[in-house]
Amino acid sequence: MTAALRRVAETLLVLLVLSVLTFLLTSLAPGDPAEEILRRGGIQPTAESVAVLRGELGLDQPLFSQYLQWTLGVLRGDFGRSNVDRAPVAAEILSRVPATLRLAGTASLIAVGLAVLVSVRAALRPRALDSRIAKVATVAIAAVPPYISGILLISVFAIGLRALPTGGDGSPGAVILPALTLGLAGTATLLRLLRADLAAAARQPFVKLAVAKGLTARRTIVVHMLRVAAPGAITAAGVVLTELLAGAVIVETLFAWPGVGQLAVAAIRQRDIPMVQAYVLLTALATVLVLTLADLCVSAADPRARR
Amino acid sequence: MNRSRRGLRFPVLMRTCGGIRPRAMAVLGAVLLAALVACGGRGDAGQEAGRLTLAAPRDLAAGPEDPYFTHRTLRVWEPLVTLDDRMRPAPALATGWEHSDGGRRWTFTLRGGVRFSDGTPLTAEAVVVNIERFRRIAPRPSAFFSLDAGMEAAYGKLTGVRAEGGKVVFILAEPVADLPARLADFYSMIQAPSAFKADGDFAGKPVGTGPYTLVSWSKDRQVELAANPGYWGGKPAFDKIVVKTIPDANARVAALRAGEVAGLIDKGALLPGQVAAVAADGRFRITRSPSVLTHYLTFNASRKPFADPRLREAVDLAIDRESIADKLLAGTATPGSPFLSPIFGALSDPGVRTAHDPARARELVGAAGRPAEPVSILISSSETGQFPYADIAEVLRAGLEEVGLPARVNVVEATKAVMEAGDYDIFLSAYSVPNGDPDYLFRRFLRSDAAWNHDRNLGYRSDVFDRLIDRAAATGAVAERRELYHEVQRLLAADRPMIPLAYQDNPVAMSTSVTGLAQNPLYLVDLAKLAPSR
């Protein structure tokens, strides 16, 4: 129990430090948001209008009191209003979360599924042609930046075959291409770890015993070896999932996927500081949560980790 | 040992069992592919009977917190005054206007028989409500067109606006010669008073007088419009128009080529580098129309070396504007000469011509003396994504070095801070004039007391220039105003505080199955004019 409490305290400390950094980094970034806003509206701003807008946005307050106000707001779940269209930031982000989770969820299913399939196949028949091709292909595709592989997928499946939409989430099939783009990027990391872990598991005496007892290869791998490899794989999956959440920024923009990442890109482009701050803080929170969750899963799956 | 190192170490296992068969993998792959193709089977969704789907780089509706909610392009609301394609004020909801009291009193006559989409009639009182709302809520950020503080940019020194005998009267403390031009489009948006809450926010959807009404809108995804059956100008050809938001330039073109959308509209619909490829595809037509956007070079003349006018002239002569417009901007721009682009019509002075004369430039550098340090060409990293500024800056650098001016390119995020610190020599950036009024450009950029001129260290001080633009702003006589602005442009061509590099077009694309694509200089595509081609 004390371990859990310590974990919570650590998480809170991390979040506090993150909030300070997030606030400072985005607030101290060069450029004046008030002037940017007025200029984007097609107006070459006067000193007066910049001053008035700075006052309205609270940018004329001392930095510390800006931070204090922001933090108090965040604790109440209020991330302020967008500098661009004055919409409440928290509501904007919340409305985007389901789309991002759907994309990241499908992508991690693809990443985990492909990695397990290919690595188990490779463990069974390492020298078979198909497992070699699959291995090389997965790594090669995953090594291409998501932006490029996304464009390739669009060219083939959307423009060439006209099988899937190029973007948006108007139809059920729309998630396939962005999820594939994102998922392939995660596959390589997982695949490498899983292969190494399976190889290590194969050297364990009890696996040799299981084989000697006449267990089928499939059963040996799925029941015994995967179980041994699981802790490493779960940790890796956690890391990959956080990478997917971060990587969603590019893929969501490319596929016009209405998730949090696309919102963040637009916010950065328009210097919408309250939005960027909320995005960075929430992404950090999500990362901390996912990694904590992965640790909990590991200790559930592996009794040794609980000691 | 040597064998097992390559695979896992249980040869017994491998011999006893085949595991997943290779064929199974192939079958699985085939099934997946078939499923993909089967769940597609879609035709061209871009255009069905009475329905048109387009894409734009940004969301053209911005939500109830925005002062306008929908962009003018969507034609949900209409302004009192709009601009024609020569940037001259043209009638919209106001059919005419006249001024008296030396330009201190402006009277606008409203179009008769116009109703808002909620059925209420357009009245002078409704117009007053809109103008007063703007004055009350400014400054207000917007995704489209910010409302400035004080609103002087829009209405001059406005003391009152009222309805008199069915007409709208603006009363000003000081004369304004060009009030209709200043009001054009966003500053004179008119919606039904019922559209707004007491605090000036939208109560629900926008309620305008335009040919389309807003049916639904999901932020950053799409806007759905329906034809307004009661439109005073007749019902448009498409019953329904959907405008999708696709921020990524490559994804936009992909959607066009996949037939998901029939056209790409709005500012930056196609990057200059994409135009040739899309134009080569017979299914689409590209419309390039001149825009208000002009690329300028701004000099830091408050320090050496460009405090010396001979070196500013040398830079002007060293630039190969033709090749920048044709090659780097891929023909989407034309070389710049007078300060005002041809889009300003008669106000642009055709007599101002720029030359590319490296030999003369070299002489000037020789006479003025070669600077000790390389000159810095400043560009903004946020603009390099829209235009090939990095390449243009390199070409400029090469051109300057050729005439004996060593240069370096400086790409930064916060150009404002760098310019205010005075740490630059030449700044490359694009500017537009949102209301087509040259006074906007001259007064805010180059007047001796202009904040831009002052804060950015342009160092331009000219009493002659100040007097000329003040006179032009106050005169209502068209010919006199034109002559004054021509004089201003000749002065700027000689003084060179800023020099126009190229006038940028805005290319938009449309399927050949749709006709009526027209774009005004402010990137507005008139959706009501689009129709299926027969």
Tokens of B98: 């006249």
pLDDT in tens, B267-284: 889 988 899 999 999 999
Alpha carbons B117 and B235: distance in angstroms, whole number = 13
Contact A48 B65 (CB under 8 A): no
The residue whose two tokens read 């198909």 is A130
- Contact between A258 and B220 using a beta-carbon 8 Å cutoff: yes
Tokens of A29: 């970034």
Extended beta strands in B20-136, E state:
47-48, 51-56, 78-79, 81-83, 89-91, 94-100, 105-110
The residues, any chain, with a CB within 8 Å of residue B204's CB and separated by 6 or more, are: B64, B195
Lowest mean pLDDT among A154-163, A204-213, B262-271: A204-213
Q: What is the dihedral of CA A75, A78, A82, A87, to 10 degrees?
A: 160
Cβ neighbours of B182 (radius 10 Å): 23
Read off the pLDDT band of B35 (50, 70, 90). low
**DSSP conformation letters of B519-530:** B-TTS-B-GGG-
Task: Rounding to the nearest 10 degrees, give the CA dihedral for residues B246, B247, B248, B249.
Answer: 80
Judge whether B317 and B355 are in contact, CB under 8 Å: yes
Residue from B246, B226, B243, B244 nearest B235 by CA:
B226
Q: Residue B25 — pLDDT band, cuts 50, 70, 90?
A: low
Whether B160 and B173 have beta carbons less than 8 Å apart is answered as no
Binned at pLDDT 50, 70 and 90, residue B36 comes out as: low
Asked if the Cβ–Cβ distance from B251 to A56 is below 8 Å, we say no
Mean pLDDT of chain B: 88
Phi, psi angles (nearest 5°) of residue B216 = -150, 165
Compute the average pLDDT of residues A270-288: 86
Q: If DSSP codes are grouped into helix, strand and coil, which group holds residue A184?
A: helix
Q: Which of A258-262, B61-65, B165-169, B383-387 has the lowest mean pLDDT?
A: B383-387
- Fold entry, domain B291-505: Dipeptide-binding Protein; domain 3 (3.10.105)
CB-nearest to A43 from B10, B153, B382 is B153
Closest CA to B274 of B329, B194, B226: B329
CA distances in angstroms from B447 to B120, B454, B469, B470, B472, listed in the order given: 45, 9, 8, 10, 13
On whether the CB atoms of residues B351 and B414 are closer than 8 A, the answer is: no
Option in A56, A120, A128 nearest B22 (CB)? A128
Q: For B8-31, what is the mean pLDDT? A: 48
If pLDDT is split at 50, 70 and 90, which confidence band does A301 have? confident
Look at residue A147 in the predicted model and tell me its pLDDT: 84
What pLDDT, on a 0 to 100 scale, did the predictor assign at position B43? 46
Report helix, strand and coil shares of chain A as percent, to nearest 5: 80, 0, 20
Residue B227 has pLDDT above 60, yes or no: yes
CB-based contact B42 A162, cutoff 8 Å: yes
Coil, helix or strand for B11? Answer: helix
Residues of A in contact with B18 (CB under 8 A): 124-125
* pLDDT, average across residues A258-273: 85
The residue ranges of every structural domain in chain B are 77-194, 212-283+512-532, 291-505
| Phi, then psi, of B531 in degrees rounded to 5 | -150, 155
Domains along the sequence of chain A with CATH: 3-89 (no CATH), 99-305 (1.10.3720.10)
* Distance separating alpha carbons of residues B168 and B177, to the nearest angstrom: 17
Q: What is the mean pLDDT of residues B320-334?
A: 92
Taking residues B278-304, report their average pLDDT. Answer: 93
With CB atoms and an 8 Å threshold, state whether A217 touches B16: yes
Rounded to whole angstroms, the Cα distance separating A202 from B49 reads 63
Q: Are B343 and B86 in contact (CB under 8 A)?
A: yes
Give per-residue pLDDT as tens, B471-480: 998 887 889 9
The reply to whether residue B149 touches residue A52, judged by beta carbons under 8 angstroms, is yes
Q: Which residues of B touch A169 (CB under 8 A)?
A: 221
H and E: helices and strands count for chain B: 16, 22
Beta strands in B111-196 (DSSP E): 158-164, 167-172, 189-190
Which pLDDT value is given to residue A5? 82
Reduced to 3 states (helix: H, G, I; strand: E, B; else coil), residue B307 is: coil
- Looking at residue A203, its pLDDT comes to 78
Contacts of A66 (CB under 8 A, 6+ apart): A23, A27, A58, A59
Interchain contact, A84 vs B7, CB within 8 Å: no
Which of A27-41, B71-85, B474-488 shows the lowest mean pLDDT across its residues? A27-41
| Nearest C-alpha neighbor of B195 from the set B326, B76, B293 | B76
Which candidate from B14, B39, B145 shows the least CB-CB separation from A41?
A: B145
For residue B398, count other CB atoms closer than 10 A to its CB: 12
Side chain identity at residue A135, one-letter code: K
User: Which range, B14-18, B509-513, B522-526, is most confident?
Assistant: B509-513
Give residue-wise pLDDT tens across range A127-156.
778 878 877 887 787 778 888 888 888 888
Which range of A10-14, B131-135, B271-275 scores highest in mean pLDDT? It is B131-135
What lies within 8 Å, CB to CB, of B392 at 6+ separation is B295, B324, B328, B329, B428, B501
Which residue in chain A is spatially nearest to B43 when comparing CA positions? A162
pLDDT at A51: 84
User: Beta strands B407-412 and B375-380: pairing type?
Assistant: parallel
Q: Is the pLDDT of residue B45 over 60?
A: no
Locate B411 and state its tokens. Answer: 């790409």
Q: How large is the C-alpha radius of gyration of chain B?
A: 28
Residue A45: its H or E element: none
pLDDT score at A125 = 75
The answer to whether B275 touches B286, Cβ cutoff 8 Å, is: yes
Beta-carbon contacts of B476 under 8 Å, excluding residues fewer than 6 positions away, are B99, B103, B177
pLDDT per residue as tens digits for the range A86-110: 888 999 999 988 988 899 889 989 9
**Residue A265: burial class (beta carbons within 10 Å; 0-12, 13-18, 19+):** middle
The Cα–Cα gap between A241 and A265 comes to 20
Asked if B147's CB is within 8 angstroms of A207's CB, the reply is: no
Contacts of B37 in chain A (CB under 8 A): 161, 163
Closest-CA distance, A214 to chain B, in angstroms, reads 9
Report d(CA B386, CA A118) in Å as an integer. Answer: 42
ipTM of this complex > 0.90?
no
Name the minimum distance, in Å, from the CA of A17 to any CA of chain B. Answer: 26
Most trustworthy range by pLDDT among A116-130, B239-253, B490-504: B490-504
Cα B41 from Cα B35, distance rounded (Å): 11
Q: How far is the C-alpha of B428 from the C-alpha of B382, rounded, in Å?
A: 12
The CATH number of domain B212-283+512-532 is 3.40.190.10 = yes
Phi, psi of B194 (to 5 degrees): -65, -15
Q: Which range (A21-35, A148-162, B157-171) has the least confidence?
A: A21-35
Per-residue pLDDT tens digits for A41-63: 666 677 778 888 888 888 888 88
Number of residues written out for chain A: 307
In one-letter notation, the amino acid at residue B342 is: P
Please state, in angstroms and rounded to a whole number, the distance separating the CA atoms of residues A169 and A115.
Answer: 26
Mean pLDDT computed over A23-31: 75
Name the amino acid, one letter, at A261: G
For residue B406, say if its preceding peptide bond is cis, omega within 30 degrees of 0: no
Residue B84: how many CB atoms within 10 A of its CB?
14
pLDDT of residue B6: 41
Contacts of B247 in chain A (CB under 8 A): 253, 256, 262, 265-266
Percent of chain B with pLDDT over 90: 62
What's the average model confidence in pLDDT over B91-115?
94
- Secondary structure (3-state) at A271: coil
Confidence at residue B402, expressed as pLDDT on a 0 to 100 scale = 94
Dist. CA B251–CA B242, nearest whole Å: 17
Let me know if domain B77-194 sits in CATH 3.30.230.10: no
Whether the domain at B212-283+512-532 and the domain at B291-505 fall into the same CATH topology? no
Smallest CA–CA distance, residue A69 to chain B, in Å, is 21
